[in-house]
Structure 1
């Protein structure tokens, strides 16, 4: 599988919660400072990345994902503050426990697909706005974002996306329960 230069490979998949309501606040910053945005990924909170290689996504996997997510209720998220990892600025979703449960549900079905390939021990749900930047740039972006918050979003589905060539594409959407 080829790497596209941004660290993504053809056939990689991920599970995300789209946050359409955040797009007006974060779009310009994500397009400049988040390689996933430039590769077609909308504003989102990652549920699980990487997931299974696309060659493994069949009707059984899709049905299992529908069952896993369909057992969780629709919920609301609020983004009122920013958070940081080294070189990264993100919007912090509240409450984040329900997002953690979605991740845990998938990992329970597919333990061979740990979050972020097992690089981190703690699941920290977040909406990345800028990556690979110094503190001065992150301070500027955060000041701009704070004037655009809060943002609220209703989570009613989880999307499966797949990487093809240089872009990510929507593969399927799995509804949460009313």
Structure 2
């Protein structure tokens, strides 16, 4: 997620990963310094903050209330070229399903503006930093894998001013397993 005013995103926060990745993200991922927690992106970019109204929020509540919470495991590190270090979920399908549901409801907002044929669910650790620093972070994080998590909510994060800081607008709980 970039630091462009007027952007929003839907993310599954992964607090279970913070102990393993937080110190690395603080140094190697600019979005962490702008208030974005460890997360797996559901949809970015999303509706501009000025256009997030009661109808948008209600539709997101409907989507997520009908989607069951799920357990997941981050089992390995991976790379997009030598620019981005990330953690991969063992099963990406539940995250892909969230993306598909939201994009179907908001077709004007394709994932990553339609730049990629395959949108890969991932938790970014480092982006665009010194390769040696990112490789050192990878070695340190691998010692903590696998990381277990529970996707219990989707957060709407947004930038509301020119500081570039991201804040949580709303969190939408997912349904209890077996109740979706």
Runs of 4+ aligned residues of structure 1 deviating over 4 Å after TM superposition are none
Show the 5 A alignment for 1:68-83.
68-83=63-78
Structure 2 counterpart of 1:153: 149
Q: Classify the secondary structure of the residue corresponding to 2:19.
A: helix
Paired residues for 1:1-178 under 5 Å: 7-86=2-81, 87-164=83-160, 165-178=163-176
RMSD: 1.3
* Contact kept? 2:8, 2:47, Cα under 8 Å: yes
CA distance in 1, matches of 2:5, 2:80: 27
- TM superposition score normalised by structure 2: 0.92
Task: Note if contact 2:18-2:38 (Cα within 8 Å) is conserved in structure 1.
Answer: yes
Gaps of 5+ in 1: 1-5
The 8 Å contact of residues 74 and 89 in structure 2, kept in 1 or not, is answered as yes
Distance 2:165 2:135 in 1: 29
Q: Matched residue pairs, number?
A: 173
Which whole-Å CA distance do the structure 2 matches of 1:154 and 1:138 have between them? 26
Q: Aligned partners of 1:103 and 1:84: how far apart in 2?
A: 21
